[in-house]
Amino acid sequence: MYNKLFHFALGVALLVILGCSDRSDKEKQKPNIVLILADDLGTGDVQCYHSESTIPTPNMNLLAEQGIRFTDAHSGSAVSTPTRYGIVTGRYCWRTRLKRGVLNGYSKHLISPERTTVASLLKREGYYTACVGKWHLGMDYKRDTTGNVDFESPIENGPNANGFDYFYGIAASLDFPPYVYIENNHFTKVPTEIQQQQSFPRYLRRGNKADNFHFEKAWEHLLEKAKGVIDQQSGEDPFFLYFALPSPHKPVWPAPQFQGRTGLGPYGDFVHQTDHIVGGIIKQLKKLGIEKNTLLLVTSDNGSFMYRLDKSNGSDHLDDETVQGYFPENHQANYKYRGTKADIWEGGHRVPFLVQWPGTIDKGRVLDQTICTTDFLATFADLLNIELNEDEGGDSFSFLPLLKGNEEEYQRAPVINHSIAGMFAIRKGPYKLVLGNGSGGRQQPKGKPWRKPYFLFNLEKDISETNNIIEENSPLAGEMENKLREIMDSGTSKSKQATEYK
């Protein structure tokens, strides 16, 4: 009797061990995911996109050589907050209360607590989820009777409420107060100083600042935090790191060791430093031997804020660092694309987009399919064989087939572009319809949304958007406008009619 019981117990124990081992093997099959989001990095800032750029970007160039470079990738908006909302939720931000502009460092939360995010999706699949860097999606602070923020009380509805196990970073852009680091749901220090306003390039707004907050050291500090997350989570369980860099956004304030390195003023040095930070993550993955099991994605939240100037301006950033722009012969931050950050033109939202996954995706591929930064949620779900519900990621489409070389399986509804002032554009193949009469952003004329004459461009023939062909193609323009309104009104891009619209 004893022997029978012993052998039965031994058999059960072996089954449990084997079951745990099998589960562990399945967990190991899930790749780590690192998403690096630069802030205001233009396509022309990166040498693998703009070979004539003299700003060294060796790390991003290496990613292009070892992975995939997308040439028709777009941010969900031409400015920060709306794009970040789309990245985190897989949904266009203009479907929320924020129809134009961005939040600031004291704005209330934008993401509804019940909404699925990339972090909550991955967390329920066993991932450790972390966000390091710039949040810029609002959070709720306790305030006293006079309306001032209580910096010692817990913060509500920040990253931790949106699926992230860990957060370390800043509330908004680095030019927005409060200038205090936040860890999870608490400010790390009570601000005791007032930062005074500064002009470009060290552009800052006046506001509360902690005495240990040093602008020129912020980027390296955040890099160390991000590397720390990778160190701590490089075991058996998969991790997701969303590393939202605050550069090369203003304040343009490169660290001392990068100043003067490029010969293109503080902005050029700052882009070079941004590439260095990307390289820091690449090196950390290699150091720990986990790069082959890590899907690494690098992109930007919109185009660069640096203008393309002509000689009538007198000088450019190379001559005078207080000038926000370059002569084309010196540098083109947004490459050959028209406009800048904030605009509906391609320079506002066409972004660098690089993907590396050694041993899983082929090296050195260049893809011209149109994708959007709202597509991360659906791509990660596809990667893990998760079926999204109808109310999850309504504007998100998986680009995993493109990574795997199955281009014929890729299906996506038209990408919709959006400017800072709420101007829309819609794509159909090479055609782009702008539903307004100007940039909708910073470049003159700014125009008004929904005000005619509209613009229709064939980007295949006219990538710089110089030739408006709407008069000779009015039926096509009308059809594209109707499709845009249909997608707007339906609350999703995922209807059969939208997905099959080519």
Question: Which among 375, 404, 433 is positioned nearest to 88, based on CA atoms?
Answer: 375
pLDDT the model gives residue 389: 93
Instruction: Answer yes or no: are the C-beta atoms of 198 and 210 closer than 8 Å.
Output: no
Pick the CATH number of 416-499 from 2.40.50.1070, 1.10.940.10, 3.50.50.60, 3.30.1120.10: 3.30.1120.10
Beta strand 353-356 pairing with 239-248: unpaired
H or E element: which one contains 425? strand 424-428
CA dist., res. 258 & res. 363, Å (int):
30
Distance (Å) of CA 247 to CA 41, 222, 275, 277, 330: 8, 11, 10, 10, 21
Q: What is the mean pLDDT of residues 420-424?
A: 98
* Angstrom distance (rounded) from CA 375 to CA 75: 10
Which residues are paired to 342 by β-bridges? none
Residue 262 confidence (pLDDT): 98
Cβ–Cβ contacts within 10 Å for residue 485, how many?
13
Q: What are phi and psi of 304, to 5 degrees?
A: -80, 155
- Overall average pLDDT of the 193-211 stretch: 98
Return the H-helix or E-strand segment holding 186: strand 186-187
The span from the CA of 349 to the CA of 343, in Å, is 8
436/451 Cα distance (integer angstroms):
5
Q: Which two tokens stand for residue 19?
A: 């079951």
Q: What type of residue is 36?
A: I
Measured CA to CA in angstroms, residue 238 lies from 24, 280, 398, 462 at distances of 11, 20, 20, 44
The span from the CA of 79 to the CA of 136, in Å, is 11
Does pLDDT of 220 surpass 70? yes
3-state secondary structure 43-75: HHHCCCCCCCCCCCCHHHHHHHHHCEEECCEEC
Residue 27 has a pLDDT of 45
What CATH class has 31-407?
alpha beta
7 pLDDT more than 70: no
Q: Residue 155 burial by CB count (10 A; 0-12/13-18/19+): exposed, middle or buried?
A: buried
Judge whether residue 324 has pLDDT over 80. Answer: yes
pLDDT digits (tens, 9 = 90+) for 41-53: 999 999 999 999 9
- C-alpha separations of 55 from 260, 265, 282, 320 in Å: 11, 10, 19, 18
Q: Are 397 and 500 in contact (CB under 8 A)?
A: no
Q: What is the CA radius of gyration of the chain?
A: 23
- pLDDT tens sequence across 257-300: 999 999 999 999 999 999 999 999 999 999 999 999 999 999 99
Name 296's bridge partners: 34, 356
Before 453, cis peptide (omega within 30)? yes
Return d(Cα 123, Cα 383) in angstroms, integer. 14
pLDDT band at 372 (very low <50, low <70, confident <90, very high): very high
Which residue's entry shows tokens 């959006």?
Answer: 418
- Report residue 343 CA to chain centroid gap: 17
Amino acid at 350: R
371/90 Cα distance (integer angstroms): 12
First to last CA, the chain: 73
* Cα 164 to Cα 143: distance, rounded to the nearest angstrom: 24
What is the tens place of the pLDDT at every residue in 137-186? 999 999 998 889 999 999 999 999 999 999 999 999 999 999 999 999 99
User: For residue 6, what are the β-bridge partners?
Assistant: none
Amino acid 502: pLDDT: 83
What is the per-residue pLDDT across 45-93, written as a single tens digit (0 to 9) for each?
A: 999 999 999 999 999 999 999 999 999 999 999 999 999 999 999 999 9
**For all residues of the chain together, what is the average pLDDT?**
94
User: What pTM value is reported for the model?
Assistant: 0.94
Please report the beta strands in 227-364, taking only residues with DSSP state E, as ranges in sequence order.
Answer: 239-248, 294-300, 307-308, 325-326, 353-356
Band (pLDDT 50/70/90 cuts) for residue 20 is: very low
Q: Is the pLDDT of residue 21 over 80?
A: no
Extents of the domains making up the chain: 31-407, 416-499
